[in-house]
Structure 1
């Protein structure tokens, strides 16, 4: 009869050794896994078939009690505990040293190598898992720190832009006020110059009028005073 170890059975069923042990506890009245004298579990093709049925039913979402009833319908009454069986090969379980000695040194070495390999693989997996978790924690810490720095930098930039906007608005208002002052001064200066120009024009007109009146007065005076003089002496006519 072909027998399998716990790891071999889990691999053939498509699950883990932990799940097999859990299912064995849940359905102990319907499935009994025999063991060697050293306590190692032994799986047969019939047991593997039953565990495959359990896996398929669990994947369908069936309740354990419903699965137990289905197992009873498919396989009859609960199985009786079988007698201990000595398997041909016990890989990964407790090693029966007296039995192994009968196979010779090469077989012992092979079993020891297999056992050490499994232990090393498990140790490496645990170490890798711990290392990955530690790395993930460190990365998360770095990302959190980077996020805090980014938030602080964004806040600093926002405040700088706000200060710059306020300063620019203030400068713009000051420039606008200054321009308004300059425009008002230009209007006042233009009005003053226009007024001065008009005053100067008025003065020129008044002086020209006064000068004409003065010349006219000179002519009249000269005409009245020198009426009897000769033509050559009438100098005032040049005016």
Structure 2
């Protein structure tokens, strides 16, 4: 490697490391502000402290704080009012902090974004390529989830088996590889959402399972567009349900 290429590589590495560091710091700020809202320190309808105050308290720069606030807005937890500041729109269920590993919430939300894109396309292709054997595997997985709901089990493993079976039905190993690369993150997100569902009513569990049935029905009918929409809606809803208020 010549000197110029080495210099460019070093600059690229430093830039990447800086971005990663900034993102990690923004995630910590995001979870700090989220904790204040979940714990009731900042009530629903209340205005957040000013950016200057939050930067001083959390010891971060304004760009880092704004990254964190942008994510909270995307998660529909806070809302900005022009010329007035940011306000708490809803208070997520306190159980979120009980079930989510420390420092993982921002990452879980990003995993849902990844899954919505990847699994939506996988479901669409699966609708065209699924075989009778694929449908048997999918039906067995959803039947196991039904059993988990009837018996009050968490059902994370069964949930993962269902989504994996749908991905495999697309008959493209890159979809499976993409999911496998995020398997630990995916299971963490599933564990969180299913634990939260167990704290809700039976109707909530049935609502989630109904979304699974919508996906399967579209795949069975070979309706790619419906399968894509149903999968993306299911995963996007799961992301939103993380922050369902009490």
Tell me the TM-score normalized by structure 1. Answer: 0.19
Based on CA coordinates, which of the two structures has the bigger radius of gyration? 1
Tell me the TM-score normalized by structure 2. Answer: 0.18
